[in-house]
Amino acid sequence: MSELRDECGVAAIYHLAGRGPSPLCVDCTPDTVSRFMPRMLLDIQNRGQLAAGISSFNSHRKTLIDTYKDVGTVCEVFKMNHRAPYLALMEAYDGRAAIGHVRYATCGADDRGYAQPFERPHIKKHKWFSFAFNGQLANYKELQAELLADGNNHLARETDTEVFMHQISQALSSDKQPPLIDVMRRIGEKFDGAYSFVFLDALGDMIVARDPLGIKPLCYAVEGPLFAAASESVALMNLGFTPESIKPVPPGQAIVISNDQLDILPFAPSPRKAHCFFEWVYFANVASTLDNRSVYLTRKALGEELARLETVEIDEDTVVVPVPDTSKAAADAMAYALKIPCVEGLIRNRYTGRTFIEASGDRKRKAETKYTPLREVLEGKRVILVEDSIVRATTLKVLLERIRQTGLPREIHVRVACPPIVSPCFYGIDMSTVGELFAAQFMQDGPLTAEIEAKMASRLGADSLRYLPLESVERAIGLTPGNLCQACITGTYPTPCGQQLAHLALENDRNNIAGRTYEAVGGARQLLLRQGN
């Protein structure tokens, strides 16, 4: 799974006046709470390493809203390893409110101009704003075409973030300041897709909102005068918020802060939920809790499911080996249930970064440098190699070759703590074409069978391969299928535009049309849109 990429992570922090001192902020003043933002972004760095940025609000500063962002990791962007430049940056961007973002791109270029937050200055303070979001608009191309239908309009970037910005601007276009919840209601009517959203304007007002399906995670906490929100709970825990104070933002609702008043208000109907199951399987930090479900306990339960289904002969030379790091909880639990050792037969180079969120390059070469097999641990063993999922299989194939050549095991049996990924994602994960998906190449004519798994194992260079069934994932997370987005493993999408793009992806695959599906133009897309598929 290390070749997979997620869209981003968001964070927000606010000092609410008139609520007394905060035990979380004994060393800060109200106008310096923005200094917490880099620390929060570090805790969600797993969601994007391409770029990072913040926007802060300070009524005592000429630039009421000021944004700092660049390409690189959080430490690189904020110069956290160099005390003097870091402190100078923090002082320059001091504020009582701030929003932040870490990025990996599913659309758009890999340069500073695409980094978030996006700021839009304006002479009217309620129209001067900055925002960031995690997710992806499935109807991005339709919204883009609608904007460009006016010949006087021009878009400078090829990204849904810019389209998002102009939708906000249109909702604020009246000279009369609208209530922020009305802004959310207006843009919510137009969006199809996933968006966990943070917004800050030059009046010092803030919005933290989550799409009606709750596809991407978002949580918040309030203790005393300090409000904070982030894509994952670990960012709030590490600020000092108690677990009891951390809550998920309800889908279809917005937290609005205006004049130091905090309200949680609905902006769109939320008749069902579609939480991305991949967050628990792979993307989220193992220390996080998402929608009241522990990521660690979910991965532990997935390992127990793998053990329950295991049929390979177990002897004294059988060991379980996780593919570091997201598979470790599942591997540990599987080994414990089978009463065999779980050993670190693969050592990960901690300084290569996570290849799934790197911008570009040769995945094969990166995989070769990322893991070192330990012959002392693997030689002569029957290895049960636990992987969290298989998407393109590029990394896994290289890894199996290295284990065979360097580790000299007797056998390698691959166990995947996830069902086969057979359909693209259009909600923020960078797998938008059918042709890039390993399992889809084998399952075009029907469901997964033992014979198909044997063919897959042969292609990978493993002695055997087994995926978890769909119901195992649902049991492990503890949510019913009606509350999960499992489109990439079922082919059934929770939004109309997502389903349209899935049809287009299949059409593009049949016609050998390359490129990300949501960036496709021309006949196939227009035909599908006319048919209303």
| Set 8, 219, 276, 497: catalytic member | 8
Please, are residues 66 and 94 in contact by the beta-carbon 8 Å criterion?
no
Please, are residues 331 and 386 in contact by the beta-carbon 8 Å criterion?
yes
Structure tokens at 301: 């339960």
Please, are residues 121 and 137 in contact by the beta-carbon 8 Å criterion?
no
Q: How many Cβ atoms sit within 10 Å of the Cβ of residue 397?
A: 18
185: Cβ–Cβ under 8 A, 6 or more apart, which residues?
267, 268
Structure tokens at 277: 């199951």
Structure tokens at 304: 């127990």
Note if 8 is an active site residue: yes
Give the whole-angstrom CA distance, residue 6 versus residue 520: 20
Give the whole-angstrom CA distance, residue 181 versus residue 382: 58
The residue count for the chain: 533
Give the whole-angstrom CA distance, residue 486 versus residue 482: 10
Helices (H) and strands (E) in the chain, counts: 18, 23
106, 111, 115, 118: CA torsion to nearest 10: -110
Structure tokens at 307: 């053990």
Cite the active site residues.
8
